[in-house]
A and B are shown apart, each in its own frame.
Chain A
Amino acid sequence: MNLGDFSFGNLGHAYLPDKWIFRNYGGEVSRGQILSLLGPNGSGKTTLLKILLGALKPTEGTVKVNGQVAFVPQLFQVAFDYTALDMVLMGRAKNIGLFSQPTKEDEEASLRALEQVGLAEMAHRPFHEMSGGQRQLIIFARALVAEADILILDEPTSALDLKNQNAILEWIDRLARQKNLTVIFSTHHPHHAYAVADRALLMLGESNYAAGAVNDVLTESNLSKLYELPFRRVCYEYKSQSVETLIPVLRPTKTALASAESY
């Protein structure tokens, strides 16, 4: 097993004896790859991520990790109004002794990480004053400063506007390709998985999942089963290139319905 490799098998979690959220789940991702996790609300995405992180003991099954893991939680409220630098500095916890305080080197590393996400000038601004996208980037910087090999993100795009969603996807891609980090993230957007992930895991049901390469797993039929909505493959132009993605067939607009009825 190489540094940064991650695999889990026969994984199951029951919130009460014999009340399983999921069972017999398995998957793997190797160094520098991105694994995306898709599932409807209540399918146990966050539970699975917590188990992968090691914060929660699975009822059965094993998780094999080689390397340091860092976690980027869903956008959260901090009880105290720390500055961006204070937040990033916390990522150094593993490198700092129990009774020690962060040193100048730790602060410098944190400022460099903030620089990398383009927020160096915000170092002394309170975390609460920042936009959702900026906060997410600061938590990214915190993961960077931890010098982790594996990054686990819980719905990194769900609380953000479209522009920031795109920016976060760019970042996930860059971290995996340039820093050779293994990334695992959960999302509600099949397109996000399609856009950056190499592998996908679809939480279809209690002991029913689909895992594998994105192109094999993210199919019309799988996604239709997952979200109970029909999906269509569509082509669109991106930077004068023709690309394709999968979109859900949602309820059409009122005007479109009206004009369809008039025919």
Chain B
Amino acid sequence: MFLKKYIAYTLQYSQRRQWLVALILTFVLLATIVLSICIGPYPMSIWKAGSILANLSLPWSLPVDLPWPIRELTVIQVIRLPRVLLATLVGLGLGMSGAALQGLMRNPLVGPDLVGVSSGSAMGGVLAIMLDWPPLAVVFLAFVGGLLSLGATFRLAQLAKSSDGIGLILAGIFVGGFCLSCVGLGFFLANDAQLNAITFWLLGTMTKATQATVWLVAIPTLGGGAILMLLRWRLNLLSLGNDDAFAIGVKVSSLRFAIIVVVSLIVAAQVSVAGIIGWVGLVVPHWARMLVGPDHRKMFPASALLGALFVLFVDNFTRVVLRSDVPTGVLTTIIGTPFICFMFWKKQTKGWVGD
């Protein structure tokens, strides 16, 4: 029967491709992580780095006696592994929050930086630094700041009856501008030690990577990411718009609130450790859509993995090639801008449709 054959073909085709892309991206990401650990001012062979990594991550020690100097172990354990993992997690979080925000706000031109959540988190974090609070409290205040500013942006756009188009972006600029001014005020009032800590909010670097900061980012990013991953098909539904989503049986406001909370949490964790890493959450979802199409079931994991790859590549570039620690956030913004301009031009000339 034609229809039956057709159904079987369709399902096979779509699901096989979905898993294949996710599998390839995961493999590429893992390979890049291992390679990133090998390269740097003190290069090592993959074999050496791999065995040190295995020894660090396995609960038992390897049967063979591996005679590496303590120096190499330190380079990996204390310097490279935290930094590489931090870049990966930051990218993963930004890729996911960008995809979720674009779906939620049914606008392919929004990202954490544009709707005020990044600057809100920075404001919260700066406040915590000014009060000399411990790192966990910095994350907490960054979360509160991000949540409040994202909520304010959304509410403002709703009040102006423009919760998906240009109104949302303008609302984000208003709220974000306010938050960044508060950060500037912090600059002005801070003492030297605080000033040093605050400076990196605006630039976005991975230089603060330690085992502790990796955990600080990993828990919210992976936990929140798991929730978003489960809700990813619901992003399709939310992207239809309020009335239509309601009509097909979605509890729009509570679902949207839940996603906003999770996104704020992920962005806050990222910002409180690595500062504002520009444009990643805006650009990466477009690449994911080009690769697997707009369906969030496929696009969401692809966006997460591509985000991790992007930030990792850029961080490797500044760490290994430039060797001067140009802030990663500055570089992602510089690299991302031409893409955004191209996307913007394409959207404006071909209409607000997918890619």
Enumerate chain A interface residues (CB-CB to B < 8 A). 50, 53-55, 69-71, 73, 76-83, 85-86, 90-91, 93-94, 96, 98-102, 104, 107-108, 111-112, 115, 120, 123-124, 126, 128, 142, 146, 152
Contacts and interface: CB of A to CB of B under 8 A. Distances in A.
Interface string B295-327: 101000000000000000000000000000000
B164 interface: yes
Contacts of B289: 80
Given A76-B241, A126-B354, A128-B354, A71 B231 contact: no
A91 B248 contact: yes
Interface stretch (B2-10, B84-92, B331-339): B2-10
B233 A82 contact: no
Contacts of B255: 98
B236 interface: yes
B247 A70 contact: yes
Nearest to A46: B243
B83 interface: no
Nearest to B285: A80
A55 B10 contact: no
Given A79-B239, A86-B236, A94 B247 contact: no
Contacts of A69: 247
A53 B247 contact: yes
Given A77-B353, A81-B353, A82-B294, A50 B248 contact: no
Given A102-B233, A111-B3, A80 B354 contact: yes
A11 to B, nearest CB: 18
B247 A80 contact: no
A186 to B, nearest CB: 14
B246 interface: yes
Closest 9 CB pairs of A and B: A81-B354, A71-B247, A80-B294, A79-B106, A94-B249, A99-B230, A80-B354, A93-B248, A55-B246
B107 A83 contact: no
Contacts of B294: 80-82, 86
Contacts of B240: 78, 90
Contacts of A126: 354
Contact of B355 (A53, A81, A98): A81
A93 B242 CA distance: 14
Contacts of A96: 233
B293 A85 contact: no
Contact of B297 (A53, A70, A101): A101
Contacts of B353: 77-81, 128
Nearest to A99: B230
A90 B236 contact: yes
A120 to B, nearest CB: 7
A169 B10 CA distance: 31
27 contacts: A53-B243, A53-B247, A55-B242, A55-B247, A70-B247, A71-B243, A73-B243, A76-B244, A79-B107, A79-B239, A80-B108, A80-B239, A80-B294, A81-B294, A81-B355, A82-B354, A91-B248, A93-B250, A94-B249, A101-B233, A107-B10, A107-B11, A108-B7, A111-B6, A111-B7, A111-B10, A128-B353
Contact of B108 (A77, A79, A111): A79
Contacts of A112: 3
A179 to B, nearest CB: 18
A47 to B, nearest CB: 11
A73 B247 contact: yes
Nearest to B248: A93
Contact of B231 (A70, A99, A104, A146): A99
Contacts of A111: 3, 6-7, 10
Interface centre among B108, B255, B293 (most CB of A within 10 A): B293
Given A55-B242, A71-B243, A90-B248, 10 more contacts: A76-B241, A81-B353, A81-B355, A90-B240, A93-B248, A93-B250, A98-B255, A107-B10, A111-B10, A146-B248
A85 B248 contact: no
A82 B243 CA distance: 18
B248 A94 contact: yes
B352 interface: yes
A79 B255 CA distance: 19
B262 interface: no
B297 A124 contact: no
B237 interface: yes
Contacts of A94: 248-249
A146 B237 CA distance: 14
Contacts of A146: 248-249
Nearest to A53: B247
A161 to B, nearest CB: 20
Q: Which of A82, A85, A90, A96 has the most CB of B within 10 A?
A: A90
Contacts of A81: 293-294, 353-355
Contact of B164 (A53, A79, A91, A102): A79
Interface in B6-64: 6-7, 10-11, 14
